[in-house]
Amino acid sequence: MPPQLLPASAAAFAPRASSVNVVLGSKVEPWLTQTLKRVNRVKRPLNSIPQHQRCLTETLSSPNAIWTLASLMLPKAPESELRQDSNPLIEAMHNYRLIHIEAYIVHVDMVLRNEVAYKLTPDSIEALIEYHKNVYSVNAKDETYDWPEKEQHAKKLHEDFVQAINKFVYRTHVSALEGLEEEGAGELLCGKSEEVKNNIMGLLNKPLLPPPPKIVDVVRQPPLLPSSPVGANIWSQSTPSPALPAPVEPWRVLPSSPGVTSTSVESNAPIWASMGLHEIQIPSPPVPYSQPYSSAGMFYSSPMVAAPIPALPLPSMLASQCGVGSVYGGSFGWDRYQEYATTI
């Protein structure tokens, strides 16, 4: 996109220049030649590009070369001061006024962008600033709730409008020069006035917005336990008291011997501690046994009551009560020794 080149007279708060910046191309359009011949009372030769450029520059640089871009119907006073009447015509005549938005041409480009640039006159800028300050700002403050910095926000809103309306430059196609009249005055054609009206109303109707609510992080204390005192420190809740025993959850003890199924949960002593040596029976070598995998021990269950182990005598106890002869004689039998020897 070609750069937007504007003269210094188009800047904000800049005075009107004595001469308009006009740039023509290598070929002049026929409609421009007819327009210049129509608006000039004195017949001037228009046979070359420099002659067209000189004629157009002098025409647009005239002090009377003021264009009417649009007309706005705006209220004279805030809503609270408007007159109420049963006749709408009388009410409109007393409460509203017509403001003509006037401007002058600061730039004509028929080479890069084919556009013409307009800047508002000081009288139009002053009328719009007065309306924004005395009417719009008052209505905006009445329609919003109060907050501590409301006046500062309203003042800042008005200052922003003053800057925006002074910077406002309307650009349109060079065909708008067909609306040129005598002494360089003119009026926008082809519905361009409605576009100017919408642009200016967009600058006027900037809302007065209150500041967004501040986000506050709420830190909530953990709830105290019912057994804790009201004035206790919250950090003491996470440290258990050393005087109280640590809670122990009951769990099922998997037996290490296939002959013992389970033990009582309430008993903390080993199962063999309560039995004497004379009550222990040494069993024969057990068959290889593997404990099947089960998840029953991983859950809490009620303790199972184990059957009492019968007190059976050990071989050593029997050896202390009787002699060697009675043991071997009664169980092996020396009187049958010959029979075993013959067999072997």
pLDDT tens digits, one per residue of 120-166: 999 999 999 999 999 999 999 998 888 888 899 999 999 999 999 99
Amino acid letter, residue 53: Q
The residues, ordered by sequence, that sit 6+ positions from 117 with a Cβ below 8 Å of its Cβ are 6, 10, 105, 106, 107, 108, 169, 170, 171
Nearest of 112, 119, 123, 118 to residue 176 by alpha carbon: 118
The CA-atom distances, in angstroms, between 224 and each of 6, 218, 234, 243 are 72, 18, 7, 20
Residue 272 pLDDT > 60: no
291 neighbors 254 (Cβ within 8 angstroms) = yes
Residue 54 pLDDT > 60: yes
Residue 300 pLDDT > 80: no
pLDDT of residue 102: 96
Q: Cβ–Cβ contacts within 10 Å for residue 130, how many? A: 11
The residues, ordered by sequence, that sit 6+ positions from 169 with a Cβ below 8 Å of its Cβ are 6, 10, 106, 117, 118, 119
CA–CA gap between residue 86 and residue 94 (Å, rounded): 13
Domain boundaries of the chain, sorted by first residue: 18-204
pLDDT of residue 338: 55
Token pair listed for 192:
């361009």
pLDDT of residue 282: 54
pTM of the model: 0.61
Mean pLDDT of 308-318: 56
Q: Cβ–Cβ contacts within 10 Å for residue 320, how many? A: 9
pLDDT of residue 212: 76
Residue 71: phi, psi to the nearest 5?
A: -135, 130
Q: What percentage of residues in the chain have a pLDDT greater than 70?
A: 62
pLDDT of residue 240: 52
Q: What is the pLDDT of residues 180-217, one digit of tens each?
A: 998 899 999 888 999 999 999 999 999 988 877 777 66
Instruction: List the end-to-end C-alpha distance of the chain, in Å, as a whole number.
Output: 123
DSSP of 159-188: HHHHHHHHH-EEEEEGGGGGGB-GGG-EE-
Q: Is 13 left (phi over 0), alpha (psi -120 to 50) or beta?
A: left
Residue 310 pLDDT > 60: no
pLDDT of residue 284: 56
Of residues 293 and 56, more confidence is placed in 56
Of residues 328 and 50, more confidence is placed in 50
Residue 309 pLDDT > 70: no
pLDDT of residue 221: 73
Residue 26 pLDDT > 60: yes
Residue 34 pLDDT > 50: yes
Q: Say what the alpha-carbon torsion angle 126, 127, 129, 135 is, to the nearest 10 degrees.
A: 160
pLDDT of residue 43: 84
pLDDT of residue 121: 96
Residue 263 pLDDT > 90: no
The rounded mean pLDDT for the chain is 77
pLDDT of residue 281: 54
Grade residue 266 by pLDDT with cuts at 50, 70 and 90.
very low
CA–CA gap between residue 194 and residue 198 (Å, rounded): 6
The residues, ordered by sequence, that sit 6+ positions from 320 with a Cβ below 8 Å of its Cβ are none
Counted residue by residue, the chain has a size of 344
Tell me which of 72-76, 243-247, 259-263 is least confident: 259-263
pLDDT of residue 117: 96
Grade residue 333 by pLDDT with cuts at 50, 70 and 90.
low
pLDDT of residue 191: 85
